[in-house]
């Protein structure tokens, strides 16, 4: 600003730096909230994998696949908890960075406040001295013009000398005031140069801080995205373990395993032999040794019929069985 005592530009810079600090705080809070979500989600996954049964009655290869599935879900939960801890650490780093910048900037602000105060005091003092000189100058000139008139019209010499002494005193006071004004201007110029020098240094420092802040936030955001991507890659690796275990799952092996585990024998029941209890003269077919037969579904047994010359078994001793 063209006004020497104005701090409009400086105040604008400080406001921008405070806004940047607020933005860092918002990102820090975002990381903390994301950490809470990740931790809660991880704990829920772990509780789910430990407490909720999933195929506990399965056998052999499919059971192994389900065990791997639950274990990897547990690992995914652990990964989310670790990610939550990582996010908290990143939030703490952001907080430390923000507070470090605040402390460094506070030192510069104190210096600038002191030099602003010194500049304003000196400027006010200079303007007061200048005003005094401006008041003395017309008074002295009026006195000089008055002396000529008095010299022509005063009835007594003593009055003339009184006016002359006052004129000399006024001139001396004017010269002292002028010297004081010159000294004040010189001092103010030195203060102005010092203030301008410190102001430039402060602006350079603030610019460096702002560059560091933008770079830090950019890198922090990039790192955060990489962490999320890494978490997804690690989760995909865990899911790949589940897919590999499912590739090893064999339907034939599981069926054979169940059969071998639960089998009760290797022979089918022997065929049922018909025996005639109504004709004791008939030769009964001797029992044969059981022979292994292939397991198959049997159809309905045929209805017994009488051989030629034999009595009808449907009626015995006049009683009908039908």
Query: Is 21 inside a domain boundary?
Result: yes
Six-digit token string for 24: 């860092």
CATH code of residue 99: 1.20.1270.60
Q: What is the mean pLDDT of the chain?
A: 80
Q: Tell me: the pLDDT tens digits for 54-77? A: 877 888 888 888 889 889 999 999
Query: Is 296 inside a domain boundary?
Result: no
For the chain, how many structural domains are there in total? 1
Residues in the chain: 322
Q: Tell me: the pLDDT tens digits for 201-254? A: 999 999 999 999 999 999 988 998 898 899 899 889 988 998 999 999 898 998
Sign of the CA dihedral with 41 first, then 43, 44, and 46 last: positive
Q: Which residues pair with 320 in a beta bridge?
A: 315
Query: Is 182 inside a domain boundary?
Result: no
Q: In this structure, are residues 5 and 123 in contact, taking their beta carbons and an 8 Å threshold?
A: yes
Q: Which residues pair with 316 in a beta bridge?
A: 319
Query: Is 90 inside a domain boundary?
Result: yes
Q: Tell me: the pLDDT tens digits for 21-59? A: 999 999 999 999 999 999 999 999 999 988 888 877 888
Residue 275: partners with Cβ closer than 8 Å, 6 or more residues away = 284
**How does DSSP assign 145-202, residue by residue?**
HHHHHHHHH-S-HHHHHHHHHHHHHHHHHHHHHHHHHHHHHHHHHHHHHHHHHHHHHH
Query: Is 170 inside a domain boundary?
Result: no
Can you give the pLDDT at residue 23? 93
Sign of the CA dihedral with 258 first, then 263, 267, and 272 last: negative
Range with lowest mean pLDDT among 2-6, 28-32, 193-197, 203-207? 2-6
Q: In this structure, are residues 91 and 25 in contact, taking their beta carbons and an 8 Å threshold?
A: no
Residue 209: partners with Cβ closer than 8 Å, 6 or more residues away = 17, 101, 104, 105
For residue 237, what are the domain limits?
Answer: 7-139+195-259
Can you give the pLDDT at residue 90? 94
Query: Is 275 inside a domain boundary?
Result: no
**Terminal-residue alpha carbon distance, the chain:** 127
* Residue with token string 């056998």: 59
Query: Is 123 inside a domain boundary?
Result: yes
Query: Is 112 inside a domain boundary?
Result: yes
């Amino acid at each position: 600003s063209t006004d020497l005592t104005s701090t409009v530009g400086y105040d604008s810079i400080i406001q921008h730096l405070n806004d940047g600090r607020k933005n860092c705080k918002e990102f820090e809070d975002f990381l903390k909230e994301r950490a809470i979500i990740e931790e809660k989600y991880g704990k829920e996954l772990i509780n789910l994998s430990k407490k909720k049964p999933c195929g506990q009655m399965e056998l052999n290869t499919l059971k192994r696949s389900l065990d791997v599935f639950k274990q990897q879900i547990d690992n995914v939960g652990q990964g989310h908890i670790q990610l939550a801890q990582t996010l908290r650490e990143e939030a703490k780093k952001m907080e430390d960075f923000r507070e470090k910048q605040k402390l460094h900037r506070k030192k510069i602000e104190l210096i600038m406040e002191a030099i602003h105060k010194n500049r304003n005091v000196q400027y006010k003092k200079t303007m007061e001295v200048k005003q005094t000189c401006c008041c003395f100058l017309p008074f002295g000139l009026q006195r000089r013009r008055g002396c000529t008139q008095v010299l022509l019209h005063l009835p007594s010499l003593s009055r003339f000398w009184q006016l002359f002494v006052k004129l000399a005193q006024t001139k001396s006071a004017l010269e002292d005031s002028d010297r004081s004004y010159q000294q004040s201007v010189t001092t103010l110029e030195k203060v102005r140069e010092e203030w301008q020098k410190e102001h430039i240094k402060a602006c350079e420092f603030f610019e460096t801080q702002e560059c560091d802040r933008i770079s830090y936030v950019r890198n922090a955001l990039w790192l955060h995205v990489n962490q999320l991507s890494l978490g997804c890659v690690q989760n995909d690796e865990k899911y790949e373990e589940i897919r590999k275990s499912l590739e090893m799952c064999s339907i034939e092996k599981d069926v054979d395993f169940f059969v071998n585990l639960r089998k009760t024998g290797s022979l089918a029941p022997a065929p049922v032999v018909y025996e005639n209890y109504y004709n004791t003269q008939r030769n009964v077919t001797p029992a044969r040794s059981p022979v292994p037969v292939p397991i198959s579904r049997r159809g309905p047994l045929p209805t017994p019929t009488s051989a030629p010359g034999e009595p009808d078994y449907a009626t015995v001793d006049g009683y009908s069985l039908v």
